[in-house]
Structure 1
Amino acid sequence: MKNYTTQMDAARKGIITKEIEAVAKKERMETSKLMELVASGRVAIPANKNHVSLSPEGVGEGLRTKINVNLGISKDCRCIDTELEKVQKAIDMKAEAIMDLSSFGKTEEFRKRVVEMSPAMIGTVPMYDAVGFYDKELKDITASEFLDVVKKHAEDGVDFMTIHAGVNRETAHIFKRNSRLTNIVSRGGSLLYAWMELTGNENPFYEYYDELLDICAQYDVTISLGDACRPGSIADSTDASQIKELILLGELTKRAWEKNVQIIVEGPGHMSLNEIQSNMLLQKKLCHGAPFYVLGPIVTDVAPGYDHITSAIGGAIAAASGADFLCYVTPAEHLRLPDLDDMKEGIIASRIAAHAADIAKGIPGARDWDNSMSKARAELDWEKMFELSMDPEKARRYRASSVPAHEDSCTMCGKMCAVRTMNRVMAGKDINILRNDD
């Protein structure tokens, strides 16, 4: 019989769980140090008691920057097999988290299959599921029914849930008094705002937050406090609505920690480059060092079809400035449900951003990978370069598509390759650029 409720509760009691032990090993961190971070809330280990296939990961201070992959069925794209193929691809590409954002029909079958097959932590947004779960119009769903959906997701083994508890009636008043170019772009946030307007009631996730915390404590579900008022354009970033909600999320963070419930706080959104660092510092301050999870930030609004790039630029800066968790963005952002190729591009872009930030943050072992690749390049060891590549398949395919005359070069530089030239001259060999002999 376990004598703790959550990973935070265990850490505060000095109990080394198998999850804490596994994360400490992955992160090359002393177990005592990790326990201190989990106990204080600066690291979360999302690990639902019912997710038996989980390979646990930590999110937060001093750890590798993690990435999340969004997928799920919708009314227009409802093929479960296609989405399960994406789940497997995300796992193969080493994503640490997968969020099931399914928003149509009875999603339980898909959610359970994802939890069963995935060693990655699984997240959901119960608000998306409520309409389909009850087969009711939004305004007819009751507060208790919203909480029941949360409990159902917890029972099914979901490790973390986005809960938009910060868009309460007070936040809504601020939003109304301060106009925006793109209003509320969070899907869950807009649905809750609409529900409050239609019913005249308080946000149920805010009004019954203590009941929500009890559910999460029972199953050890980490709450990812959703930023309903995240900016959907660079014009709206760091405005009154965003900051008002962030202040409230900081208060909700402390209330959760009082019940040993782990917290991740979500952040922007669309934001110009010069605002990112200050936003990361502000979040960490207002939310007491809780792990920070960002969507992007997308640093310009004019590149549809390339938002995996605009997001990676912002994500690298955000993570280097303190963000702990990056939600991937694909080339299909704002345009359609991503297909398998879109997902792959988004994962690679997000992993590049995360790794670049880890180098900047001095995460143990981060530079070792790059140094190994540099050594392989200096030795013109192509096979080793492929093995070390973030995307080995693409690297091999590019190399094979344009074969050089000399194996110790590529078709861009040929025998003028700087590495080849330096290797030869430093070994006392002849430099023969024009002759056909070696």
Structure 2
Amino acid sequence: MTDLSALDEYERTYADILAGHRPAAPTLGQPYAGLVYSDRVRPTTAGRHEMVSRHYVTVPIHGDHRLLMFWPDGHDTGLVPVDAQVRAELSGVAQPNALQLYQLSTAQDTWIVSAIADGSDEFALFTSVDLSLEQEQQIVDGVSSVEPIFNDRIAVAHRFLDAITAQIAHYFDVEIRHELRERIAAKRTELINRAGVTSSLSFPNTWKVPEPILSTVAPAVQPLTAPRVSEATGTVEVATRPRLAEASFTDVIAIIRIWADAVERYTRAFAPLNEDQISDLLAATLNATLPGAQREVYTRKGKSDIFIHADTLAAGTGPARVFICETKWAHTDAIVTQALDPQLFGYLNTHDTAAVLLLLVPQKRFQAAVDKRMTALRAMPGFVGDTDTTVPWPVLDYELDGRHVRVCVATVHIPRGADSDEPPEQTPNGPAAEPAHLEPAQQ
């Protein structure tokens, strides 16, 4: 239920819904003599057996017979199970004899709920007594009677039904109504608060991330080839190189930072993922933040890289990659440095490229692990310095064979169970080997 109108409608109709689900309390009809099964055997006190006939009385059930299958536990009724007395007498008996076992069995079968006939929709309570030929003769002669036995049993059955009826009434008239009123009130508060938060959010039309663009500023690093002079015009033609605009690069970093903050709030959901899966989620996030973009600007290709082609941003521009993002679980220095060179640097085909090295840090001591990885990255050939950004991630500048690469090192803390400890720097026989790491299988 997500809006107040639906909640109001439920509050108006829940009483009718309850009435539709309320079962009919069971009642008992007029008892009558039922079937008789003869040639049964009953143990005697002398350790022998005698032949008996089992005489049944049928008591029709009106209402929902299924409720008789449950003990009425809503109130202190004083009712006890029909076999309670026999069980109490046998509680100290290690090996009950045949007569005791017979008494327990007949006590447990005092009442049976069953259909009146095979395939019938009418149900009844069945109760019985076993009578020997001598006992039957005494009843015929008027010396004894079993009617008081059946009357007592039916009276107790009525007490059970009264308790069941009272519990049904209390549940549907009191308990469930009170619980629903509390839940409706809590849900109403939740929906009102949620609507208040939504109404308080007012974003101007300028609150949006612009589509990335190419820079019109000449690159800082000059090309290795000399300018070409046109013989026809006498003008000097300088080769231009596509370059992601500085403002666009800053926007990308800011978006990734917001995404990373959300990831760190839900680390249990991201910890089982491999690099490809996390890159897919980041690529989808980056594309979703470009209002008006009618195409996939950020593209996933290869093992885990995300990139932009220059021709995606400007018609007529060559297919040089002007932005690239590489995702790695940063278990060791070697994994991180190899992700930069040769992996990330090997993707580059332009002289001026913006890049993000997204490091997923599983270690518990997050900052200590980040400091080690940054030291290793700054020690790599071609490193010339850092550039500050608006987010707490540095941009490392590299000069490589005339190419200028700006690499933002984005670190995200995702604790990951067994990967949470920093591998040792030294082993007894020299530098520690890189630990084997198995990525979770791609879904």
Q: TM-score range by the shorter chain?
A: under 0.3
TM-score by length of 1: 0.24
Pick the structure with greater CA Rg: 2
Report the TM-score, using the length of structure 2 for normalisation.
0.24
Question: Whose helix proportion is higher, 1 or 2?
Answer: 1
Answer 1 or 2: higher relative contact order, Cα 8 Å, separation at least 6. Answer: 1
